[in-house]
Structure 1
Amino acid sequence: MSNPLIVVFGSSRTKEQCHLDAAERLGELLVAAGFDVGSGGYTAVMNAVSKGAHQAGGHVIGYTTDEFPAATPSRWLTEERRTADIHLRIRSMLAEGDGFIATWGGIGTLVEVAFAWNVGQFIAERGLPHKPLLLVGAHWQPLVQSIAAQTEIGSSVLSYPVLVDTVEEAVAYLRENIGNKK
């Protein structure tokens, strides 16, 4: 039996060392807590979380796509799950993940968060097993507030993503709410 899989969404472009360090630490902490780690499988935050997880001895899955033929998958992956297109890539991450963490990112990260949020609502409405979505960092709060102010979604939907300040808080939440083997 494999460990629960946590999929991390994050930037493919950032060069900010603080974001990369936090992602690498996140990978280490997830493995120490008994989770397998997944990501988009390429550069920047995705590479850093994969590196941290791999160096901690974890199973690291990269969800890559044929739509990025020039992109090289992270060397820290232990498994590559290649899809034909970006839509299948996101669908695979959401179907296979037991929980999700979003860190610093761009529009791709935002799309992944929106899909995870929508799927989380769908799952909750049907009484299926909960798949937490954690948004790490203060930069997510204004976005969630804007969504609350500018859309017609209810409080149960707004409460689905869990806002935390640090990767340590994110992993602690997942330990309590998903469980682990360690």
Structure 2
Amino acid sequence: MGSSPGRPQDQAAAVVLGRAVAEAGHGIVYGGAHVGLMGVLADAALAAGGEVVGVLPQNLVEREVGHEGLTRLELVGTMHERKARMVDLADAFVALPGGVGTLDEVVEALSWSHLSLHAKPVAVYDVDGFWQPFLDLLGGMVEGGYVAASARAQLRVVRSPAEVLELLG
């Protein structure tokens, strides 16, 4: 999820999702910043009494973007280490709308799933059709023979906190 604030409806969705996940007794593992949608999600989960673990590269701490109110903040050396650590800690991956960094994380989680490096659910939280262009692109890649239909099928689309909670089990 992103370091940019995004659209108002995305911020509202992040609040509702963070609260719902925390109230259901699930923790959140995320990028560790206090900014953008990821900060909104973390704040909502924390306000609802949830456990929130952040994983942040050291260079972002130096830019003062780390969230200081988390249950735990783990510092790592690089962005790659951040993503690998988040894969280790998380039980599932759910991406809210976001930018290039979010897209990178979704594609990497999906790729690692396809390569059997993890067997955890990967999903996009589709607020007001935000992810539809990406889903269309993946569909075109399947049609063109560049992506296996089985790989595309590993990406789930969720549109409500209830669907996220179902994904988490």
Q: TM-score, normalised by structure 2?
A: 0.87
Partner of 1:94: 87
Partner of 1:40: 31
Paired residue secondary structure (1:13): coil
- CA positional deviation for 1:15: 4.7
Partner of 1:152: 146
Q: Mark the CA change 1:49 to 1:76 in structure 2 (over 3 Å): closer, same or farther.
A: farther
Paired residue secondary structure (2:75): strand
More helix by proportion, 1 or 2? 2
5 Å matches for 1:157-168? 157-168=151-162
Paired residue secondary structure (1:74): coil
- Structure 2, gaps ≥5 residues long: none
Partner of 2:21: 30
Distance in 1 of aligned mates of 2:99 and 2:161: 18
Would you say the 8 A contact 1:141–1:163 is kept in 2? no
Tell me the matched-pair count: 162
- CA positional deviation for 1:27: 1.3
Would you say the 8 A contact 1:60–1:77 is kept in 2? yes
Distance in 2 of aligned mates of 1:173 and 1:103: 15
Identity among equivalent pairs (%)? 25
Distance in 2 of aligned mates of 1:97 and 1:88: 14
Matched, 1:18 2:9: yes
Partner of 1:6: none
Structure number with higher relative contact order (C-alpha < 8 Å, ≥ 6 residues apart): 1
* Alignment match of 1:71 (pick from 53, 64, 72): 64
Supply the RMSD in Å over aligned alpha carbons.
1.7
- Structure 1, gaps ≥5 residues long: 1-9, 176-182
Distance in 1 of aligned mates of 2:8 and 2:111: 31
